[in-house]
């Protein structure tokens, strides 16, 4: 017996599914064959397909009665009918997965500070607008890593806070950078800290780097380590996430450095205050995009990226 004879044709299985469904409703083969809009193609095709399937499987599937009288599925027919039903459902799911419109994915590389502050605000503004795309945030740990991700085509865009004194890196040829604005670095501290009390000369207006020498400082990234002065008697507590800084400061464990942008976006934080750092350490918020995309960017996704600039401008105006 050849391999071909061992394989049931799908159209024969589909036809048997129609036959089995009719028999289970106590219809005769004649009624099944002559039903309007029947896919079987009449009595001749019903018997041809049924006979061919039975020969292929080597089993009698229908216990026939004289034409016009009831017929019944055999035990083998019951089993095959169950399998055909399951296969039909799988086939339908496969068909639907390819006929439904594919929802595009916008992949954005960003470091933890922006993933936790800026990007949720932008995403929130798009909720309920019927924007037909998904967002995938890819965490990077440095400006150099963000540049590589955009240059390699692994993401559609990168959003990063760039510190000029630390991040003086050349742009890859295929990457363009759009500067959206700048933000200052602030020192956050608990409201119980001595810095929260008015000084003799009035309210303190800033915190100097040297003031951090003897403070317990909550650190996270490379910027903290590059900025903080060495020496002194203060502790350095390294935490894994930018939001952990706030938690530790709120508990009075220490002080920390934070971008003003991130602190403002989080809104009023109970028990925590912020003052500018001196000397000033500004950071630029930049949007990185490829000059030539490996895949087109859908219009809703492009509009999403454009929201970053107006958001920044509203924040700058205190709105």
Res. 2 pLDDT band, cuts 50 70 90: very low
Helix pair 75-99, 10-24: axis angle to 10 deg? 120
- Check pLDDT > 90 for residue 110: yes
Distance CA 199, CA 185 (A): 22
Residue scoring higher pLDDT (232 or 155): 155
> Which DSSP letter does residue 291 get?
S
What's 34-92 look like in SS3? HCCCCCCCCHHHHHHHHHHHHHHHCCCCEECCCCCCECEECHHHHHHHHHHHHHHHHHH
> How many angstroms separate the first and last alpha carbons of the chain?
80
Q: Is 100 left (phi over 0), alpha (psi -120 to 50) or beta?
A: beta
Q: How far is CA 266 from the centre of its chain?
A: 22
Distance CA 239, CA 247 (A): 10
69-107 residue pLDDT tens:
778 899 998 899 888 888 877 777 776 666 555 667 889
Q: Give the residue carrying structure tokens 């009288």.
A: 69
Residues 6+ apart with CB under 8 A from 172: 147, 148, 150, 151
Cβ–Cβ < 8 Å for 213, 231? yes
Q: Give the residue carrying structure tokens 């419109």.
A: 101
Percent above pLDDT 70 for the chain: 89
Tokens of 138: 């890819």
221-252 residue pLDDT tens:
878 888 888 877 889 999 988 899 999 999 99
Q: Read out DSSP for 203-249?
A: S---EEGGGGTTS-EEE-SHHHHHHSPS-SS--EEE-SSHHHHHHHH
197 SS3 class: coil
Distance CA 260, CA 40 (A): 72
Structural domains of the chain, ranges and CATH numbers in brackets = 3-99 (1.10.10.10), 105-183+283-316 (3.40.190.10), 185-278 (3.40.190.10)
Distance CA 80, CA 61 (A): 8
């Amino acid at each position: 017996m050849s391999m071909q004879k061992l394989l049931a044709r799908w159209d024969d299985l589909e036809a048997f599914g129609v036959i089995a469904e009719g028999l289970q409703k106590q219809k005769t083969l004649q009624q099944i064959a002559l039903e309007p809009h029947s896919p079987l193609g009449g009595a001749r095709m019903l018997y041809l397909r049924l006979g061919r399937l039975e020969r292929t499987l080597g089993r009698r599937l229908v216990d026939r009665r004289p034409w016009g009288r009831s017929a019944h599925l055999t035990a083998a027919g019951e089993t095959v009918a169950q399998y055909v039903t399951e296969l039909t459902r799988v086939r339908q799911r496969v068909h639907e997965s390819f006929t439904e419109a594919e929802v595009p994915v916008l992949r954005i590389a960003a470091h933890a500070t922006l993933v936790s502050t800026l990007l949720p605000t932008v995403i929130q503004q798009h909720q309920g607008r019927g924007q037909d795309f998904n967002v995938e945030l890819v965490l990077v740990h440095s400006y150099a890593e963000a540049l590589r991700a955009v240059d390699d085509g692994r993401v559609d865009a990168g959003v990063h806070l760039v510190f000029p004194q630390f991040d003086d890196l050349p742009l890859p040829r295929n990457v363009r950078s759009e500067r959206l604005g700048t933000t200052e670095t602030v020192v956050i501290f608990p409201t119980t800290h001595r810095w929260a009390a008015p000084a003799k000369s009035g309210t303190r207006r800033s915190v100097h780097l040297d003031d951090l020498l003897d403070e317990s400082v909550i650190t996270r990234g490379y910027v903290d380590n590059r900025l903080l002065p060495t020496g002194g008697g203060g502790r350095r507590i390294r935490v894994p996430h930018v939001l952990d800084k706030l938690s530790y400061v709120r508990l009075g464990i220490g002080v920390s450095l934070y971008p003003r942008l991130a602190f403002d976006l989080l809104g009023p934080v109970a028990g925590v205050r912020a003052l500018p750092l001196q000397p000033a350490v500004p950071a630029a918020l930049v949007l990185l995009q490829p000059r030539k995309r490996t895949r087109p960017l859908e219009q809703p996704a492009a509009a999403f990226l454009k929201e970053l600039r107006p958001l920044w401008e509203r924040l700058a105006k205190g709105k």
